[in-house]
Amino acid sequence: MKGPPRPPTAYFIFLDAFRKKRAADGTMSSNMKTVTKEAVETWRGMTPEDRSDYMHKAALAKELHQELKQLSPEALIARCGTVDPYAKLMQVVEQEKKKEKGRGKED
């Protein structure tokens, strides 16, 4: 194993959510070029406030990536398991986001 995968950028986190939303709504085009073009237009039209959630998730992913880079290959496997490290990284980012939202409600 070379190491942890590079963390996703805010745009790629948005793109993943955009595609999942379109698939769930049944409005997903079979042409990925069209879907990507729609996603780009949506992303460019978003305000910084709209993007903030994705930016925060990307920052969490980057922080986790830095932690994982410091681990030995054995420790990395122990922490991420033998599953796809990228999928595990995103799973951990989502868990951290939920924890943070929970802490925000308590304040």
The token pair that represents 21 in the structure block: 């939303």
The pLDDT of residue 107: 46
Domain boundaries, the chain: 10-106
Q: Nearest to residue 64, comparing CAs of 2, 6, 1? A: 6
pLDDT tens column, 5-63: 788 999 999 999 998 888 888 877 778 888 889 999 999 999 999 999 999 999 998 98
pLDDT tens column, 63-85: 888 888 887 777 767 776 655 66
Q: Nearest to residue 2, comparing CAs of 72, 56, 58? A: 72
More confident residue, 107 or 15: 15
The pLDDT of residue 64: 85
> Apex CA 97: angle with CA 95 and CA 99, to 5°?
70
Q: Are residues 7 and 69 in contact, defined by beta-carbon separation less than 8 angstroms?
A: no
